[in-house]
Amino acid sequence: MRLNHIAAIPDGNRRYKEKHGLSFEQAYLKGFQKVEEVLSWAEKENVGEMSFWALSLENFSKRSTLEKKIIFKLMRKEAEEAIRSKKFIEKNVNVVFFGRLELLPSSLVETLKKLEFQTADKDGFRLNIGIAYSGKDEIVQAARSIALDLKNGRVSENDFNDETFRRYLYLPVSPDLIIRTGNVQRLSGFLQYQNAYSELYFSPKLWPEFSREDFKDAVDFFYNTERRFGK
């Protein structure tokens, strides 16, 4: 049994802000830095793919304009630095952004697309980042595309199955393990179709406080779990 794909719901940045008396920007910067750390830990565990939920579609609608402005500023800054430094090229990382990206500021989308293009041919590790993403919305968007393709004869209903459906999703591959921080024991629709047989690990730590030891505990939990896949 190999742990190839880990998905993470990095919850707790705002509570970390309140706990330590930080600004939104300081707290979210800590969260962005934690992503870098977790990626390095995943590489050491020979994980081949990680997916992060950076911002839900619901959060996109409900967060204040100021908070979203700060998040988008940090996202753009991190992406621009990655492009400039070519750090993902050096590490052979393929970066993919998924979700309702058309809702984001056009300048941010342009930068994210540049980073995707720069790393498109890398195959050592895959990093997926969900922005303005909702599991329900992903399924709805897939259903719309399927209906259109059925209507135009691009796909046959007789050949339609799970594998066919997955091709219409943002991410076709299911995570082996989903980690959620922040002492919240629900998935909130993250990878809702894909998570049917994912193992779930809930950490009480706020995301910026999530440590190497906590990550190792999650990995050990996975390897000590008997995966049944419905059997």
Catalytic residues, by residue number, are 11, 59
The H or E element that residue 56 is part of is strand 49-56
**Measured between alpha carbons, how far is residue 221 from residues 25, 164, 224 in Å?**
33, 32, 5
**Measured between alpha carbons, how far is residue 150 from residues 32, 138, 163 in Å?**
41, 18, 16
Biggest CA pair distance of the chain: 58
The H or E element that residue 170 is part of is none
Q: Please, are residues 170 and 162 in contact by the beta-carbon 8 Å criterion? A: no
Q: Please, are residues 67 and 24 in contact by the beta-carbon 8 Å criterion? A: yes
Query: β-strands 125-133, 177-180: how paired?
Result: unpaired
